[in-house]
Structure 1
Amino acid sequence: MTLADYQVLLLLSHAPHHRLRMSEIADAMVFSSSRLSYQIDKLARADLVRRQRDDSDRRGNFACLTETGMTTLRTAADDHLALVKQIFIDKLTPDDGRALAAILARLGDTRRPTTEERP
C-alpha cells in the first residue's frame, strides 16, 4: 500500500458515514481531479473504496470506504504507526515533543469542512 492509498483510506475512515466528496479528498490531498480519479479507481479495483453518485448534485461523486478497505486500513495502521514511531517519535526528546505540540496547536486545523459539516 502506498502512502497515498493509506491517506485516502484514513481520510475516509474519519469522515461521516466513511464517505467524502471527491473534491474534498482532492483538496485534502492536494491532488488534481484526474490524479485523484486514478487513485480512487486503483483503490476501487482492490475493493477498498467504491464510488457513489451524489443524488443531490448529479455532477458530484462520493468515495466510500468499503468493509475490505476498513480492514485493510486497520492492518496497515499498526505498521504505519510503528514506522512513524521509529523514524520520528523515538528521535524526539520530551522537550522536542512539547515544542512540536505547541507549534501544531498554533497552526490549528486547516482542513476544509466536509459536506455533512457545512451549515
Structure 2
Amino acid sequence: MAQETTVEKTWPLMLEGAPTARLGSPEVIRAAYAEPRLRALFPFPSHGCLTFHRNTEFPWSSDLPFIAGYAPCSVYAPRYAELLGEALTPQAAAALVVAHLPLDCGPAVDGPWPQPGGRID
C-alpha cells in the first residue's frame, strides 16, 4: 500500500478541527475538501483565509486563488491581485477557486516550491 502524502494527511486534520486548522472556517474547509482539484492541493488556513499551494513546505507556491472570510466569502487571485468574487457561500467560493486554477495545476508536491530557475522533478 502506498504511503499517504502530506496533503492526504493534512486534509483530515483540518476537517477534524485540529489545532493547526484553528484559523480556518470549518464550512470553508469542508467546501474546499468537497472539490477534488482543491483536495489535491495543500491547504493552509491563516488570517481568515484558506490558501492552496502546489507544495507542502515553505517557500509556498503562492500562485493560486484563495478564499477569504466565511460568510460571506470572497475569492481573490494570488496575492490579492484581483477580487474574483464576493458574498459567496463556501461552496460557491470553492467552485470559483477551481474555475480559476491554472490548467497545469496538478497534485501538490511534497517539499518546498522551487525557486525561480529551479524545477520540479
Judging by fraction of residues, say which structure has more helix: 1
Fold conserved between structures, TM > 0.5:
no
Q: What TM-score bracket applies, with the shorter chain setting the length?
A: under 0.3
Per residue, is there more strand in 1 or in 2? 2
Structure with higher Rg: it is 1
Q: What is the TM-score normalised by the length of structure 2? A: 0.24
